[in-house]
Amino acid sequence: MLTVDLTDTAKKVLDIEANAILKSRENLDTVEFNKAIDYIYNCKGRVIVTGMGKSGHIGKKIAATLSSTGTPSYFLHPAESTHGDSGLVTKQDIIIAISYSGETQELLNLMPLIKRFGIPLIAMTSNRESTLGKSADIFIDISVEKEACKIVKAPTASTTTTLALGDALAICLMEKRGFTEEDFLIFHPSGALGKGLIYRVSDLMKKDNLPIADENSMFTDVIEIISAHKLGLALIVNNNKELTGILTDGDIRRNLIKYGNVSNLKVTDAMTKSPKTVKASSYAEEALHIMEKYSITALPIVNKDKKPEGILHIHDLLRAGIV
């Protein structure tokens, strides 16, 4: 059973870290930051991110975010780098080194290699006058007024600030590259978003033996068409074969309740007119968005002449792993 309420402490931690990020916003050096963006954007190789301890964990996340948003990146453990891993570094690369003090010895051991190769160095540190800060081509300030940890031992506000600045770098690079959802798909093909952008509606829709009825048909006749095709709806067209409406299971129930006797009811008086549609060339994600927005489970697919080409059901999206 909870005997001590620590939410006040939690709120203080959140306040300290939120304020640290806002302070880093104020302290952001426009010239240095834009220089970092240009260096990375023009890099012919990869962005090598390195850092020890908690800085290393943050560095791994920054490298992962950069890679997934169009900037090839790799995390290099500085302690392992002096035992052979530095062989992955090439003269085409750029280094982002993270050290709050700027004096982390494992990072400093990389300096001779960086100097020898002439690799641009971006230092994320709190001290411009530190060994790392002085060695860098670009300085990004990650200093904070205080950590959230009372004993000031565990990096908290400083790692949060570093992570936020890494995200800022990645998002700025995305914008500079004109990175799109389609580009994002290339790096996330197995996720729901990726699949939603891999598949076009034409890849998933049913296009053969469609349940189509003329708008002059009787309501009961169209019910038979729906039952025979087992898709839960029928596409209603006019004399020009243009889609003018759909009749769904829900429409059937509502009209049975409303009229009782439907023997003389025409489908045009019972159908949903001007239904939501999507084109076959649309991404599956767009179709899913429409279904979610309007709480519907199936969409008619029409061509530029508004003639039916297929039906996309929510089950089609489920089977493709999009939902």
277 and 145 both lie in a single domain? no
Residue 281 within any structural domain of the chain: yes
| Tokens representing residue 165 in the block | 């600045």
CATH number of the structural domain spanning residue 35: 3.40.50.10490
| Tokens representing residue 280 in the block | 């076959």
Residue 191 within any structural domain of the chain: no
Q: Helix, strand, or coil here: 145?
A: coil
Domain encompassing residue 245: 198-319
Q: What are phi and psi of 246, to 5 degrees?
A: -135, 150
Residue 187 within any structural domain of the chain: no
Total domains in the chain come to: 2
101 and 232 both lie in a single domain? no
Question: Do 219 and 270 contact (CB within 8 A), yes or no?
Answer: yes
**Among 119, 150, 179, which residue terminates a domain?**
179
Question: 217: closest CA among 245, 183, 192, 258?
Answer: 245
225 and 314 both lie in a single domain? yes
115 and 236 both lie in a single domain? no
Residue 185 within any structural domain of the chain: no
Residue 125 within any structural domain of the chain: yes
157 and 23 both lie in a single domain? yes
CATH number of the structural domain spanning residue 271: 3.10.580.10
Question: 21: closest CA among 172, 158, 169?
Answer: 158
Round to whole Å and give the CA distance between 58 and 18: 17
Residue 40 within any structural domain of the chain: yes
Q: List, for residues 51-71, the tens digit of each pLDDT value.
A: 999 999 999 999 999 988 888
The pTM assigned to this predicted structure is: 0.61
Q: List, for residues 138-195, the tens digit of each pLDDT value.
A: 999 999 999 988 776 788 999 999 999 999 999 999 889 887 666 665 555 555 555 6
Has residue 85 got a pLDDT over 70?
Answer: no
Helix axes 219-229, 249-259, angle to 10 degrees: 150
pLDDT at 35: 96
Round to whole Å and give the CA distance between 322 and 185: 13
58 and 171 both lie in a single domain? yes
Q: List, for residues 118-135, the tens digit of each pLDDT value.
A: 999 999 999 999 999 999
